[in-house]
Amino acid sequence: MKSILVVDDNKMLCRMACDILHQEGYRAIPASSVEEALEAFEQQSFDLVVTNFHLPGVGGAELARAIRDRAPGFPIIMTGFEPVECEHVTLFLPRQFLFPSLIEKIGACLAELEGPPLARR
């Protein structure tokens, strides 16, 4: 089962997103701050991170950089109201149309990581 870390200071969304991802067959862990997210990232194994751009403190872009420092190229999906430039994320999703895009993009990112069957051998 693939694991996803969902980081959002909107706790209601964070938990709803985890519930939806759980229904889709993922293990989803919520975190509501950068510190909480980094602690979870270091203690558990994840396949992908979904984070809000706007987070209290250093923000989502800094969280993405910190994660990529620890795991270069790690898949990160960032959400926000306005598109943002951030070199440390895989892709950006507007929050206005988060679902079902998030589900589709997570599936695509994870499939790309696994690669075609021949490449896996």
Partner 1 sequence: MSLAELAFSGPLDAKRHGDAIKELETVLRSKIVSQESAIDAVVELYQIFLVGMAPPDRPVGNLLFLGPTGSGKTYVVEALAETLFGNSHAFIKVNCAEFQEHHEIAKLIGSPPGYIGHGQTRALLTQEALNQWQTDKLKLTLLLFDEIEKASDALWQLLLGILDRATLTLGDNSHVDLSHCLIFMTSNLGAAEMSSLAEGGLGFAGQFTKVNEDFDHKITRTALEAARKKFSPEFMNRLDKVVVFQTLRPEHLERVLELELAKIQQRISRAVGEQNFTFECGPSVKQWLLREGTDPKYGARHLKRVIEKNVVYGLANLVATSQIQAGDRIVIGIGADGGLTFSKMAIVVSESENVSRSSP
- Of the candidate residues 4, 6, 7, 18, the single one contacting partner 1 (CB under 8 A): 18
- Of the candidate residues 39, 99, 111, 112, the single one contacting partner 1 (CB under 8 A): 99
Kind of pairing between the strands at 91-94 and 76-80: parallel
Q: Residue 99 CB, nearest distance to partner 1 (Å)? A: 4
Taking alpha carbons only, the member of 79, 76, 38, 78 closest to residue 57 is 38
3-state secondary structure of 113: helix
Residues 57-96 touching partner 1, rule: CB under 8 A, are 79, 81, 95-96
Number of residues that bind partner 1 (CB under 8 A): 19
Closest to partner 1 by CB, 97 vs 119, is: 97
Residue 90 to residues 16, 43, 66, 106, 110, Cα–Cα distance (Å): 23, 22, 14, 10, 11
Q: Residue 102 CB, nearest distance to partner 1 (Å)? A: 9
Q: Is 13 in the site for partner 1 (CB under 8 A)?
A: yes
Q: Is 98 in the site for partner 1 (CB under 8 A)?
A: yes
What is the dihedral sign for C-alpha 87, 76, 112, 82? negative
Q: Is 43 in the site for partner 1 (CB under 8 A)?
A: no
Q: Which two tokens stand for residue 53?
A: 């751009």
* Cα 68 from Cα 96, distance rounded (Å): 26
Q: What is the contact surface with partner 1 in residues (CB under 8 A)?
A: 10-13, 15-20, 23, 79, 81, 95-100
